Amino acid sequence: MQDNFAYLLPFIMFTFGVVFLGLQAIGFRPGRYWGLGYILGAAGFALPMVLPEGFDLFGALLADFLFLAAFVLYGHALLVQFGAPTYVRVRLGAAIAAYLVVCFFILVQPNLRNELATSDMGLALLLAPSIFLVRRKIRNLMDKVLLAAASLVVAETLMRVGIFLWFTTGSSPESVGAYFTSDYSYLAQFTASICGFLMALSVLGSAIADVIEQHRLEADHDPLTGLLNRRGFDLSAPDFRLTPLPSGAVLICDIDHFKSVNDRFGHATGDRVIIALASLLKETLPASAKVARFGGEEFVAYVPDMPAAQLAILANMVRSAFAARNWSEGPFPVHITSSFGISAIALGDHSIHDAISRADGFLYRAKEAGRNQVVQEGLALLGVTPAASLKVVAS
C-alpha cells in the first residue's frame, strides 16, 4: 500500500501543477508559481523512485532543494494572489540559509535526524510569513478556505517535526530507521499528503473564483474608462420595488460637439477626451456614486441620499474643470466643454431610468441654451454659455 501511495502522490501533485499552469493562461496570474511549486514538489517525491542506488547523498541534496524551492513558490504564489508585498530577496535569503543548514547536516556533520527536522522546519517557516502577510486581504469564501488550508499545511508540518524529534534520539540512525518503518511514519506522510492535496484543491477553487470575478468585472465595466457600463449600472442601481423609495439624484452628461473632435483629430484623441471627463467624474463625485459610461461620450451617475441641488453643484465643478482644461499640451489646441442634466428621484418613479429620462430632458435644454451648462429641473446653474456656433474653437 505504501508503495502504491508513493507512486500516486507525485502523479497527483504533477497533475495539479499542470492545471495551475493552464489556469495562468486564462488570467490566473499566480498560476505559474502554484504550478511550478507543485511540479517541483512532485519531482521531490518522485526522486527516490528514479535515482539509481549509490546516489543517496546526491538524492538527499536534490530532494531538499526541490522541497524548499516548492515552498518558496507556494509562499510567493500566495503573496501575488492576494496582492501583498513579495519581499523576494528576504524570502530567498531565508530559503538559502535553510538549505545551507540542511547541507551542513548532510555533508559536514552527517545527521539524518537533524537534516530531516531542519528541512521540514524550513518548509513551514517559508510558508508561514506569506500566510501572515495576506491574512487581512481575504476577499471571498474561497480565499478563507485557501488560507485555512495553507495554515493547516504549516501546522501539520510543525507538528510532524515535533513528533519526529520526540520519537527519535540524538544522532542514532537506529531510532530514525525505526521511526520510518513504523505505521505512525506512514500515517504522518499520508496526513502531510492530504494537507497538500487540500491546499491544491483550495487553490483551484480560489483560482476559479478569481477568474469568474475578473470576467464579471470585465462584463460590468467599460474597458476605456474603468467606469461601469450600462449593464453594470443597471445591476448596481437600487431596486425601486423596495420600501421606502430610494433617495438621491441622477446626472447625465456628454461632451459638446464631440463628433467634431473625432472628425478633426481622430478617435485616439477622442478617447483621451472621454477619459479626461470620466476621471473628473470619479474624482469629484462621492465614493458612493454609481458612475457609468452609457456609450460614446455619454455618462450617467446615480448618487444616493444626495439632493439634486447639491449634485448640480458638484456637476458644475466637473463642468468648470473640464472647460478650463488646457489641451494645448496634447496634439490638439482646442477648447472643449460639456453639458449636464440633473434630476432627483421622485415619487412615482418605477426605476432609475425614469429619473435618467428626466435628466436627459434637462441635458437637452442645456444643449438648446448654448451648451457648457448644468441644468437642474430646467434651470441653468452656474453655466458659462458660449455662442452655439463655436463648437470646437481653435485657441
Look up residue 303 and give its DSSP letter.
E
User: Which of residues 383 and 190 earns the better pLDDT score?
Assistant: 190
pLDDT at 391: 26
Q: What is the mean pLDDT of residues 286-291?
A: 95
pLDDT band at 183 (very low <50, low <70, confident <90, very high): low
Nearest to 278 by CA among 329, 224, 330, 352: 224
| 29-46: pLDDT as tens digits | 899 999 999 999 999 888
pLDDT at 287: 93
pLDDT higher than 90, residue 305: yes
pLDDT band at 54 (very low <50, low <70, confident <90, very high): low
User: Which of residues 119 and 186 earns the better pLDDT score?
Assistant: 119
d(CA 20, CA 37) in angstroms, rounded, equals 10
The amino acid that residue 174 corresponds to is E
pLDDT higher than 70, residue 314: yes
In DSSP terms, which residues pair with 381 in a beta bridge? 374
pLDDT at 1: 45
d(CA 143, CA 207) in angstroms, rounded, equals 9
Q: What is the mean pLDDT of residues 386-394?
A: 29
In DSSP terms, which residues pair with 232 in a beta bridge? none
Q: Give the distance, in angstroms, between the CA of residue 319 and the centroid of all CA atoms in the same chain.
A: 33
Q: What is the mean pLDDT of residues 234-261?
A: 89
Residue with cell 476621471: 279
Cβ–Cβ under 8 Å, residues 345 and 246: yes
Q: What is the mean pLDDT of residues 312-334?
A: 83
Q: What is the mean pLDDT of residues 227-246?
A: 88
| 351-383: pLDDT as tens digits | 999 999 999 999 999 999 899 999 997 454 444
| 156-167: pLDDT as tens digits | 999 888 888 887
pLDDT band at 329 (very low <50, low <70, confident <90, very high): low
Q: Please, what is the average pLDDT of the chain?
A: 85
Given the DSSP bridges, would you call strands 393-394 and 379-381 parallel, antiparallel or unpaired? unpaired
| 83-132: pLDDT as tens digits | 999 999 999 999 999 999 999 998 998 888 888 889 999 999 999 999 99
| 291-304: pLDDT as tens digits | 999 988 999 999 99
